[in-house]
Chains A and B, each alone.
Chain A
């Protein structure tokens, strides 16, 4: 059976590897492995190109984690802690709107979840610690984020609304890792269906008018719980069968 082709948006980032120090198109391998482990074939979609024609070749797309979305895209002034990634913003807002228009199966992870909200008229909280008075969405107190191992992500519960796609996937509760300092304030055309019970920070959004458009604020690609990726791959397969019948 052919594997569905899943695009992953990628960073354009100055990066050090081996003896090299240069601008690269790049993405942590966790995302690639998560797609391959759940039956898809990953290709990286670089942000250095403003076109959306690549979507015609994909069966599904993941909008991945990364830097902050420029608040200008939701009509706010930048907070001092906001570090924007303008190149990715331009490419991903276009791609997100085009993917939703085409009803391509879409998964948003962390920044990608936030791009979903902003691309459909929503808005973000720019710095959670000022809103909720703690920084537990970024890391456990006393851990070193520089170590960059999965255990350094702050862990917390998410409670999930009944009668939602997320509920079908995860049930009433899911325990998640967390590494972000911004969050969705207004989900735009999406609907919030999962929250952190301690502080009501939005953790899951989904689009009621699309076959599969789900955003999660955490990082499933860094865990053994790949249910969000499984759901994307399944939606991508169904999408293609429908296309084949038509």
Chain B
């Protein structure tokens, strides 16, 4: 049996076929495809605030990208460009805390990395153009911007990425303070792009979108770590 990777989902009004704006649990296909290609079995975990019972069948947890997390999670008021979905925050935080308690392998992507940071006492920049003076981390709607990241030698992400350090970004918020996590990758402008907890079996956050290219280095590492817990 393949390791099961639970992936958190969006809940958004969605339209397809004859249907218009139905409340829908959804997740870009790339995530499940990347898990499948890396040898895992993806299941999607729609938000639920009752309990974290579902973790008993998961071998790994992937916290996916999406809208901004509530600034209240790091002690700030929402800024004018911040778009939040509090019910998703609540459900994902509940799962994340329980997964941390179990030392389950965890990968956070984009919003997922930002949630990891907030859960570890860190803070975010709510709108990067206001801080950095440029929009190179989100150049246009639905367009990923390419960056060359610099990874800390000896870190997990440096070992996984090897010589190919190209990353694809689409975000307008970023990590200001990583809290108890360690920044192990940065963009050319110094913005944190990867965070880890080196004391855990597998806890990695990436600000870019490795699922789009089905990156076997990163998803393979998650599935391999999950295989050890299954």
Contacts and interface: CB of A to CB of B under 8 A. Distances in A.
Interface of A: 2-3, 5, 7, 10-30, 32, 36, 41-46, 48-49, 51, 53-54, 56-58, 67, 145-148
Contacts of A26: 14, 16, 24-27
Contacts of A146: 18, 20
A192 B151 CA distance: 62
A41 B48 contact: yes
Contact of B44 (A25, A28, A67): A25
Interface residues of B, number: 45
Contact of B46 (A20, A32, A57): A32
A28 B22 contact: yes
Nearest to A3: B53
Given A15-B14, A19-B142, A148-B19, A51 B25 contact: no
Interface string B10-32: 11111111111111111111111
A15 B23 CA distance: 12
B13 A17 contact: yes
B122 interface: no
B25 A27 contact: yes
Nearest to B59: A57
Contacts of B13: 17
B44 A43 contact: yes
Interface in B1-56: 1-2, 4, 6, 9-33, 36, 41-46, 48, 50-51, 53-54, 56
A172 to B, nearest CB: 33
Contact of B53 (A2, A27, A48, A56): A2
A236 to B, nearest CB: 13
A15 B14 CA distance: 7
Contacts of B4: 54, 57
A11 to B, nearest CB: 8
Contacts of A32: 25, 46, 48
B36 A48 contact: yes
A21 B48 CA distance: 25
B29 A48 contact: yes
B57 interface: yes
Contacts of A18: 12
Contacts of B57: 5, 57-58
Contact of A145 (B18, B25, B29, B43): B18
Contacts of A46: 29, 32, 42-44
A56 B9 CA distance: 22
B42 A17 contact: no
Contact of A54 (B16, B17, B41): B41
A51 B53 contact: no
The 4 closest A-B pairs by CB, nearest first: A26-B26, A44-B44, A23-B29, A57-B57
Contacts of B17: 13, 67
Contact of B11 (A5, A29, A147): A29
A42 B48 contact: yes
A13 B24 CA distance: 12
Nearest to B56: A2
Contact of B27 (A21, A25, A29, A45): A25
B16 A13 contact: yes
A49 B32 contact: yes
A3 B17 CA distance: 34
A53 B29 contact: no
B18 A148 contact: yes
A34 to B, nearest CB: 12
Contact of A43 (B33, B43, B142): B43
11 contacts: A15-B14, A15-B15, A17-B10, A23-B29, A26-B24, A29-B25, A41-B48, A41-B51, A46-B42, A48-B33, A148-B20
